[in-house]
Amino acid sequence: MKVIDHKIERLLWQVQKPARYTGNEWNAWRKDHAGIKVKMVLAFPDLYEVGMSNQGLKILYESVNRRPEMLMERAFAPAADMEELMRAHNLPLFALESGKPLAEFDLVGFSLQYELSFTNVLNMLDLAGISLHASERGESEPLVVGGGPCAFNPEPLAPFFDFFLLGESEECLPELLADLDAFKQTAPDRKELLAKLSEKEGVYVPALYRPVYKEKKLKALERVDPGAPGVIKKRLVKDLDSAPYPAAPVIPYLQTIHDRAVVELFRGCGRGCRFCQAGYIFRPVRRRSREEIVKTAREQIALTGYEELSLASLSSTDYTRLDELIDELDRALAGEQVKCNLPSLRLDSYSIKLADRLHRGKRSNLTFAPEAATERLRRVIKKNISEEEIFTALGDAVDAGWQGFKLYFMIGLPTESDEDVAAIAELCHRLKQYFRRKAGRRISISVSVSTFVPKAHTPFQWEPQLPLPEVTRRQEILQQGFKKMPGVDLSWHDAETSFLEAVFARGDRRLAAVLEWAFKLGCRFDGWTEHFSMSRWRQAFREADIEPEDYAQRRFEYDDLLPWSHLDCGVDKEVFIKEHRKAFNLDADFEGEFR
């Protein structure tokens, strides 16, 4: 067992949830640094309990540490109380497994899951004593790499990173670490080392490219090095069965967001919802075999002691012959008292039957995402489900004994009208009446409404986000609609955080100055309501002389150079254009502007 460094230990009694910083968890890897050729720390820019719920982190941790010649340790963003103490005592950000400062590793990797974690990235680099700007890092400092969904448009973070990994990393990261060890023996300096790494598929080195602007718009991305690739293609795991996957994931000592065993059914999604970035960047669909799923599930339950197993994917009920898989899991886990669940159910009767079977009589709430309340708008976003199917599926659930539902909707979707917004309350009102007639009792309905954020590499990437005052007005329509509906719980996402998310989701490198100002002004954990400060962000935009609305509310044309145009997610631009035109019922021969 690791002995906690006394400098760390003396701070722990002064903070909430000290288990965030102790390490020593069950199934954690602990290696002797003296015998390791290349060392990496995976940094998650959020709290421990959030990061430890991320399956990608667990997969990468396994894929690197199974190699005896390399290691990966973990670091998380410290909460405000711990950060204050670390700065007061000059304690640098450290890795959980060894307690060593991040600056002593060869590579520091950030998992970039969400745009509103970007200031945490800068804060963690600063706490680690690593130069913020890649161009200012010395030869002895670690290389800083980013990966995850936000790496498909990392331009706002580009000056702070040495390189990014585009796509799926569990196979290429160990290869890259081996190359890094070999290159260190031959490459005389950092610049040449990065040039060599850029030759690998999926590696994007921002310093090899120079953006050119005209009238505040990106007009070109010039290659500084003629040997740099013109387009960076994502890395893809072709065979999930042979790819690394954790049989014995780390067991945290405190409650995490998702505290259960997880087996991935498949990757990708064939549904093609036009707002959904994950549905496109993880294409094509690749399935894990039933044999491998059952084997991994049995191993995880035996090596973790979990009593709940999640069968994860973007749309779990699309797994081929799912009924047979559940039969096999029942037989394999017989006597273990393990509860299986499907976290991503479609709104249909088949999903209801599966949920009813998996919960074995313990029925409380089911969660579904209609996204839009009118059939017209659901067709626009390609959420192909009719109102009749909604009522039939939820009616089947009521018949089966389910007592409540959580429904997710969005406002601000392209082509949305006031009638579409008001229809959310109207649909919930009709559902409530329907449930009362059908069940003869009150069924609880919880409604969560987010604001549409246009994302890179989707058919709606060209669309603007609604102006903030308009978002607020439509939220007021929602509130009015639900005012006279007791028993229905309505919540909505903060309009300002959704606005900021859109700014950075569509951003270019000029936003790096805003991020740096925001970090210096004290912005941290911007996705957390209690920490978010729009006034500080407005000041950061003023200091950088940038209008955030130019990013969130700009309508791109098809021939515009997008900040992410040089990053290939594996889906052709023409596919996105075709899907975008379909959303607006545009003629196939249409030329020019799309609306």
What domains sit in the chain, N to C, each tagged with a CATH number?
6-225 (3.40.50), 229-344 (3.30.750.210)
pLDDT confidence of residue 276: 96
Strand order across the beta sheet in which 308-312 lies = 261-264, 308-312, 339-341
Task: Give tens-digit pLDDT for 190-212.
Answer: 999 999 999 999 999 999 999 99
pTM equals 0.94
Pairing of strands 209-214, 217-223: antiparallel
Contact yes or no for 177/109 (Cβ under 8 A): no
| 519 close to 160: Cβ distance less than 8 angstroms | no
**Rounded distance between C-alpha atoms, residue 165 and residue 198, angstroms:** 10
pLDDT at site 117 = 97
What is the pLDDT, as a whole number, of residue 389?
Answer: 92
Given the DSSP bridges, would you call strands 339-341 and 365-371 parallel, antiparallel or unpaired? unpaired
**Residues with Cβ < 8 Å from 486, sequence gap 6 or more?**
none
Which stretches of the chain drop beneath a pLDDT of 70? 1-4, 360-364, 586-595
Question: Cβ distance 174 to 109 under 8 Å?
Answer: no
